[in-house]
Amino acid sequence: MTNSNITLLVGLGNPGEKYASTRHNIGFSFIDSFSIQTGFNLGESKFDSFFGTISKKNEKIIAIKPQTYMNNSGDSVKLVKDFYKIPPEQIIVVYDDLDLQVGQIRIKGDGSSGGHNGISSIIEKIGSDKFTRIRIGIGKPEEKSMTNKYVLSKFTKNESKIVNNINSLAEKIIYSIVFESISFAMNTFNSKIQ
């Protein structure tokens, strides 16, 4: 028996001050913004994550920031999914994307990991790729060999302003998916530079 009125919202990143505000942690900052905008506390530590819940219109949204490091994000997601019996289709994952410009958002319903280790871990652990993704552009380095260093670098001052603009839309984006539809959210937020 699955829970049809629970959505699991996952922001991907790495724990610790060292990684705060880096490109790879844009999922964490998005979830932080959502919690501030909606007024719920994300401070509880359980399921190997920072954890919080909010209820609205008979829907419960569970938000987590896995503390397992990016490559093992699926461990935390599986714990919450199994405990609350949440179907994959009611999971939303927010993460960074090298193939999108800073300021671009892509929302989609399923698909491959696209080489993202956090997404690969989730697909492997929950045994499904049928979850919603919110990909947020972080740009890419000029040299592919610089990718690892690049994703762990901080945004420039101008890029930070753009990222803040995206994060300011967190509540609208999540609620459009939960209370409208993925297609509505895609038509509203995809492609545009925020």
CATH number for 133? 3.40.50.1470
pLDDT digits (tens, 9 = 90+) for 37-52: 999 888 889 999 999 9
**Which domain does 144 fall in, by range?**
6-189
In a domain, 1, yes or no: no
The mean predicted confidence, pLDDT, of the chain is 93
pLDDT digits (tens, 9 = 90+) for 160-183: 999 999 999 999 999 999 999 999
In a domain, 194, yes or no: no
Which of 106, 27, 119 has its CA nearest to residue 71? 119
The count of other CB atoms within 10 Å of the CB of residue 172 is: 14
- The answer on pLDDT for 194 being more than 60 is no
In a domain, 94, yes or no: yes
In a domain, 102, yes or no: yes
In a domain, 75, yes or no: yes
> How many domains is the chain built from?
1
Mean pLDDT of 52-68: 94
Confidence (pLDDT) at 1: 59
Confidence (pLDDT) at 54: 93
Residues with catalytic roles: 24
Residue/partner pairs of 19-24 with CB below 8 Å, 24 or more apart: 19/152, 21/154, 21/155, 22/151, 22/152, 22/153, 22/154, 23/96, 23/138, 23/139, 23/150, 23/151, 23/152, 23/153, 23/154, 23/155, 24/70, 24/96, 24/138, 24/151, 24/152
Percentage of residues in the chain having pLDDT higher than 70:
96
**DSSP for residue 69:** -
In a domain, 41, yes or no: yes
Is 0.85 surpassed by the pTM of this model?
A: yes
In a domain, 142, yes or no: yes
Confidence (pLDDT) at 104: 94
